[in-house]
Amino acid sequence: MSSIQISTTAKKNIEAIAHVEHELHGRRSRLERVGDGIAAFFGSLWFIAAHTVFLLIWIVLNSGLLPRLIAFDPCPFSFLGLIIGIEFIFLTTFVLMNQNLQSGRQEKWGHLTLQVCLLAEQEVTKNMQMLHQICQHLKMKNLEVDEELEDLTQATQVTTLVQEIEKAREVGEELIEQLDKLQDDLSHPHDASD
């Protein structure tokens, strides 16, 4: 069985990403590391198994199945409910902390991705401009005027692009609202006549 070889550039990129991940991982505070560990345990099969064993022991000890033991939390297990409620509060807090940490990581990666994309766009635009200048310098014939080519050799105005995306999103949201209202009017025709 032959293995697929990846390019040196791809290997360098993988190493760079791993390095950034390692660096971000190492910058976590002690509280974040503890929260990550607890959230990882809460999200594991070990947690489910430990919970199942704990609940079964609690129920057996407090349901009178062992006659020599006195139940310290008889049915309906009020104290157990209190413990589980408190545990739920802590569990929720750790999960939210973990989500905030993940959100921060995603935001950093999003910024990095945007920077790399902008850099790539600038490089491609510059390459197209240089290629166009080379073609002109060589006085190549049969160069047709291509509007798309002219557009692509211009630098992308990121802020204008974001504004256009926002306008399109707003128009789309307005259309969805109008369609929802129209659908509601059609499904309840007697309400519209009131």
Return the higher-pLDDT residue of 43 and 143.
43
| CB within 8 Å of 79: residues ≥ 6 apart | 72, 73
Which pLDDT score, from 0 to 100, does residue 128 have?
A: 86
pLDDT > 70? residue 142: no
Q: What is this structure's pTM?
A: 0.56
Residues in the chain: 194
With b meaning 16 or more CB within 10 Å and e meaning fewer, what string describes 22-58? eeeeeeeeeebeebbebbeebeeeeeeeeeeeeeeeb
CA pair distance 168, 166, nearest whole angstrom: 5
Digit-coded pLDDT (tens) for 163-190:
888 888 888 888 899 888 988 888 887 6
CA-CA distance, 186 to 8, in Å (whole number)?
61
Q: What angle do CA 188, 189, 192 make, to 5 degrees?
A: 95
